[in-house]
Amino acid sequence: MKKLIYGICLALLLSSNVLAENVLVEDVVQTDVLAKSTLSWDGSHMPDYPKGPPEVTILRIKIPPRVQLPLHTHPVINAGVLLSGELTVATEEKKILHLKAGESIVEVVDKWHYGKNEGDKTAELIIFYAGVSDAPITVKK
């Protein structure tokens, strides 16, 4: 009787492995487009990519509550996702974007702006910069 039970259990295990192997990756992997744009968040067109050897930089930025970043600009295209907290981004032209956790941003290029965490939690972002080797990704005023 024990051999029969072991045999049934083995058959069930093997059949479940076979079923798992027949599942398509596309059926179990979820992909969400967080951002896809030819425009920055303020509606301006992004510039062409710079000439030179490409360099990708990925930063995790944590902005404590009630902290405002200095006025700065990015000479390269960049985009990111706010992982937690809230963030307000403002340009010198007084255009404003309010971000909440999970929202994405396609950042302005060559425009002076700043970010400010007006919330009570740390704002945490992951930002991707598409630049060229040995060139700055951020310039402070």
- Domain edges within the chain: 54-140
Instruction: Please determine, for residue 103, whether its predicted confidence score (pLDDT) is greater than 60.
Output: yes
Whether 59 and 129 have beta carbons less than 8 Å apart is answered as yes
Q: Lowest-pLDDT range, 16-25, 45-54, 57-66, 71-80?
A: 16-25
15-20 mean pLDDT: 51
On the question of pLDDT at 1 being above 60, the answer is no
The per-residue pLDDT for 14 is 54
Q: Strands 86-91 and 72-73, how do they pair?
A: unpaired
What pLDDT does 39 receive? 96
Residues of the chain above pLDDT 70, percent: 84
Write the pLDDT tens digit of every residue in 26-65: 788 899 999 999 999 999 999 999 899 999 999 999 999 9
pLDDT for residue 19 is more than 50: no
Q: Which two tokens stand for residue 54?
A: 């490409």
- Give the number of other Cβ atoms within 10 Å of residue 131's Cβ: 21
Give the total residue count for the chain: 141
Above 90 in pLDDT, residue 24? no
pLDDT band at 2 (very low <50, low <70, confident <90, very high): low
∠ CA 60-66-70, nearest 5°, is 65
Superfamily of domain 54-140: Jelly Rolls (2.60.120.10)
Residue 18 is predicted with a pLDDT of 47
